[in-house]
Chains A and B, each alone.
Chain A
Amino acid sequence: MPDTTEEIQSKVLDLTVEAFSTFAEDIETMFDTEVTAQQSDITEGTPDDLKDAYKKLAAVCSVTAEGAVNGEFHIIFDKDGVFTLPGTFVMQPEQVILQNRKSGKQEEAQEIGDALAEVGNLLVGAWDRIFREELEGHKHFVQSGTFIGNVWANTEESLRIKPDEELSILSFEMTVAPLPPFNCSVIYPKSVFEPVAEAPSEEAPPEAEAPAEETPAEETPAEETPAEEAPAEEAVPQAEVSAEEPKEAQDKGPVTEAISKMAESPAYLPGDFSDVSGILSGLKAKDVMRKQVSWATAEATVEDLVAKMQQDDTGYIMIGDGEKLQGIVSKSDVRGAMSPYLQSMFAKWRSSMDVATLQIKSKWVMSRPVRTVTPEASLQVIVQTMTEHGGRCTPVVDTAGKVVGTITVFDVFYALLNCSTASQSAGRAVEAPPLA
């Protein structure tokens, strides 16, 4: 594997020439016409150096690379190219393409924008094949943007490059017979050649957050309704959930701290909020809970849970038989169990292993035992329970052990907001925070 910036750069520039001719061959194959791509120049410079070759109207296809080449690079087509390639894709008559090359404006270019995106798609496909075969450490290319218009009005928007960015520019003259040639250039910001530390294969995708401090989350022992312990070996997939937990921890911080202080001492509240203490002790679980409870069995899969959450518009699902609780699964438990590659933006790199994470069973991702409260518990007790044990959804369980409702932190907020505004008769509209 090439491991210095110079080695990567030189290898990539070589492969670019090969990838461009593969792209030309691909167009030939699909559109049964003669296409050539000849390297015409190789330079180093800044975006300004492209101004002579690319006047106002141009198109830019942006590609994000991961692996040995790392970061975003761009392919710019001059006005002739803007009309020639997409025109060929939609089988415009030669005369129309020639007319557009001569006098076409932004408007005509936008009309074939969909075809231009498809040009970009074919281009990325061709490049990906070449780089996967020939560049060790290459992971993937993904088409990350298409721009058509006046490139120079705002290069940070069109080229997505800073004005003083150091670039490697590889230019080509392309011909789609029988039309005259046009120009295009591949623009690599030099930063994409910098070697990246070899990541472990199980590496999370770019946006997964780095693990932060440990959080007790919803796993602390229950006082009121100890649920059955699952066999130890079934707890193993829990590890997969941990990727999402730091987020929970961050979310939790400010929320529970404020509630916590309120719960301990309502006098903590600034301003004229003395009535809040009354609300906290006066309101009971049965007054603020949601009676609609979503259930799934311990055998239900993550895929089932996702569907259920969408269908019931809820962030929490009780695991059990519809009465007795075995555990609770939150949206972030589900997200943590699912491969991040199942998100549509990573669809390109998805494998059957990622899809298999949808088959993980609830019993492997649920939190247990679950801390619960009785219908008669005061809001103050609920807030304390949530604060001490970190759960953001507390099931309400009657004396027979049956779940009769759930309370999330948002329900608590809503109750506080509603009551305090009503008692102040200030007439302000209160908007409910988004549910879970």
Chain B
Amino acid sequence: MAKSLLVVDDSATMRKIITRTVRKAGLSVDDDIKEAGDGNEALTRLEEGNVDIILCDINMPGMGGLEFVKKVREDPTKASTKIIMISTESADELIDGVKADGADGYVTKPFTPETIQKELTPYM
């Protein structure tokens, strides 16, 4: 069954790039990919309806990605929602930290359709 996706990034340009790349990766995802500009908006999107996989930026004004991951993981009803971080940040401490907080995967920019495919396939 097609998975439902939520793309969280403060940059509309980056949300478009991510959405486009996911489509290019040829994964079975819903036609309607949801979007949010920061963690708070993303929490609202999550309340509105079913989301299987979240692709989430780290540096965003308002609620950033690290805080967002923790917020989602506090909610037991969202335990099955997968969270993949996407960022230019490449420091190991940061990646390990956010994974410890409950992120399921981490993609460092630049990414390709292949990178995205590899990261998302286990959850399809």
Question: Is B a genuine binding partner of A?
Answer: yes
Contact assessment for B12 and A114 in the assembled complex, using a CB-CB cutoff below 8 Å: yes
Contact assessment for B94 and A350 in the assembled complex, using a CB-CB cutoff below 8 Å: yes
Contact assessment for A30 and B17 in the assembled complex, using a CB-CB cutoff below 8 Å: yes
Contact assessment for A352 and B101 in the assembled complex, using a CB-CB cutoff below 8 Å: yes
Contact assessment for B112 and A30 in the assembled complex, using a CB-CB cutoff below 8 Å: yes
- Per DSSP, chain A at the interface is helix
Tell me the B81-117 residues at the A interface (CB within 8 Å): 87-91, 93-94, 96-97, 100-101, 108-112
Interface centre among B58, B91, B101 (most CB of A within 10 A): B91
Contact assessment for B11 and A121 in the assembled complex, using a CB-CB cutoff below 8 Å: yes
How many Å lie between the Cα of A122 and that of B97 in the bound state?
22
Residue of B66, B88, B93 near A121 (CB, 8 A) is B88
Tell me the B10-38 residues at the A interface (CB within 8 Å): 11-14, 16-17, 20-21
Given contacts A350-B97, A352-B97, contact A118 B11 (CB under 8 A): yes
Residue of A90, A126, A129, A352 near B16 (CB, 8 A) is A90
Contact assessment for A129 and B97 in the assembled complex, using a CB-CB cutoff below 8 Å: no
Interface centre among A126, A350, A355 (most CB of B within 10 A): A350
Decide if A155 is an interface residue (CB 8 Å cutoff): no
Interfacial chain B residues near A151, Cβ < 8 Å: none
Nearest CB of chain A from residue B12's CB, rounded to whole Å: 6
Decide if A27 is an interface residue (CB 8 Å cutoff): yes
Residue of B90, B100, B101 near A125 (CB, 8 A) is B90
Residue of B12, B58, B100, B110 near A29 (CB, 8 A) is B110
Interfacial chain A residues near B4, Cβ < 8 Å: none
How many Å lie between the Cα of A117 and that of B16 in the bound state?
14
Contact assessment for B109 and A125 in the assembled complex, using a CB-CB cutoff below 8 Å: yes
Residue of A26, A115, A128, A344 near B64 (CB, 8 A) is A344
Contact assessment for A30 and B91 in the assembled complex, using a CB-CB cutoff below 8 Å: no
Contact assessment for B89 and A90 in the assembled complex, using a CB-CB cutoff below 8 Å: no
How many Å lie between the Cα of A117 and that of B11 in the bound state?
8
Given contacts A26-B110, A90-B16, A121-B11, contact A351 B64 (CB under 8 A): no
Contact assessment for B93 and A122 in the assembled complex, using a CB-CB cutoff below 8 Å: no
Interface string of A71-97 (1 = CB under 8 A from B): 000000000000000100111000000
Given contacts A29-B112, A347-B64, contact A118 B14 (CB under 8 A): yes
Decide if B59 is an interface residue (CB 8 Å cutoff): yes
Interface string of A126-164 (1 = CB under 8 A from B): 101100100000001000000000000000000000000
How many Å lie between the Cα of A140 and that of B90 in the bound state?
11
Contact assessment for A355 and B111 in the assembled complex, using a CB-CB cutoff below 8 Å: no
How many Å lie between the Cα of A89 and that of B87 in the bound state?
16
Closest to A140 in B: B91
Nearest CB of chain A from residue B91's CB, rounded to whole Å: 7
> What would 5 more interface pairs be, CB under 8 Å, given A115-B11, A347-B64, A355-B66?
A26-B110, A30-B21, A86-B13, A91-B20, A352-B96
Q: Which 10 A-B pairs have the closest CB atoms?
A: A125-B88, A352-B97, A26-B110, A351-B93, A30-B110, A115-B13, A29-B110, A118-B13, A347-B64, A118-B11
